[in-house]
A and B are shown apart, each in its own frame.
Chain A
């Protein structure tokens, strides 16, 4: 069961404190409330990591049952949503590891190329992008395009990018869950971000005049 440091974000509401107390008593109605209140968002987290509806549903079920059994480990002052989030991430990562392993696609083709003297080989026309991210993100199709690009990253890099940049885990938390060193997480994250930039560049770069 992941340990969650109490979040400095808004403290648990009286409703949440009462809900946790009910969970500790084994109250089924409280469990149903948790499933309905948090289940949708948590299912989306599992789907992002697993990219498979059935696996995501299994991971969510495993996680929520595990959370209910382990509610005594929930620390006063922590946020229930944060605690559940970490448990679902962990369940999804366990499922990812249990999947039949395939050789990972290399990421090198998505990284910048350099000449022997260390200068970068320009790809296309090193053009700025047409609009800033804030503007692009207002468009549904641009958001879908970015999510698709994330899905095209090699699995081990995609997972690190999701944990760090989307699920907002610290380097140390991600390293612990992935059984990697923090430095390996940093290297993978940097490569994943470079690869994402490469995949997005043809879509967003300013066309030649």
Chain B
């Protein structure tokens, strides 16, 4: 397996949907290719960062609905 194939199969590897033979090739490549180990690790970190950066309760202060928007929505509803 090449680096290109390893990256191509990354999601299937994580999802556990890679056939056994390809999984073995994937892991054999990782054992011999430290840059791919780093790539895999930083890819996983990027996914975690993406998921976590938009869901931190400390940022929730920006999730308030402005009162004028509440009133606009209620007024639009009353017209229906």
Interface residues of A (CB under 8 A from B): 28, 31-32, 35-36, 39-41, 43-44, 48, 57, 60-61, 64-65, 68-69, 112, 114, 117-120, 122, 126-129, 132-134, 136-137, 140, 142-144, 146-147, 150, 161, 165-166, 186, 189-190, 193-194, 196-197, 200-201, 204-205
Closest B residue to A63 by beta carbon equals B73
Whether A35 lies near B48 (C-beta < 8 A) is no
Whether B3 lies near A114 (C-beta < 8 A) is yes
Whether B76 lies near A61 (C-beta < 8 A) is yes
Whether B77 lies near A150 (C-beta < 8 A) is no
Whether B53 lies near A39 (C-beta < 8 A) is no
Q: A120-B3, A120-B36, A190-B10 are in contact. Are A28 and B77 (CB under 8 A)?
A: yes
Which chain A residues border B59 with CB–CB below 8 Å?
Answer: 140, 143
Q: A65-B80, A118-B5, A127-B38 are in contact. Are A39 and B73 (CB under 8 A)?
A: yes
Whether B11 lies near A189 (C-beta < 8 A) is yes
Which chain B residues border A201 with CB–CB below 8 Å?
Answer: 42
**Partner of A166 from B3, B34, B43, B50 at Cβ < 8 Å:** B50
Whether A44 lies near B63 (C-beta < 8 A) is yes
Whether B56 lies near A137 (C-beta < 8 A) is yes
Interface size on B, residues (CB 8 A): 42
B30 in the interface, Cβ–Cβ < 8 Å?
no
Whether A166 lies near B46 (C-beta < 8 A) is no
Which residues 1-56 of B sit at the A interface, judged by CB distance below 8 A? Answer: 2-5, 7, 10-11, 34-36, 38-39, 41-43, 45-56
Q: When each residue 59-80 of chain B gets 1 if its CB lies under 8 Å from chain A and 0 otherwise, what string results?
A: 1001111000110111011101
Closest B residue to A147 by beta carbon equals B53
Q: A119-B2, A128-B41, A134-B48 are in contact. Are A61 and B72 (CB under 8 A)?
A: yes
Q: A143-B56, A146-B50, A166-B55 are in contact. Are A132 and B43 (CB under 8 A)?
A: no
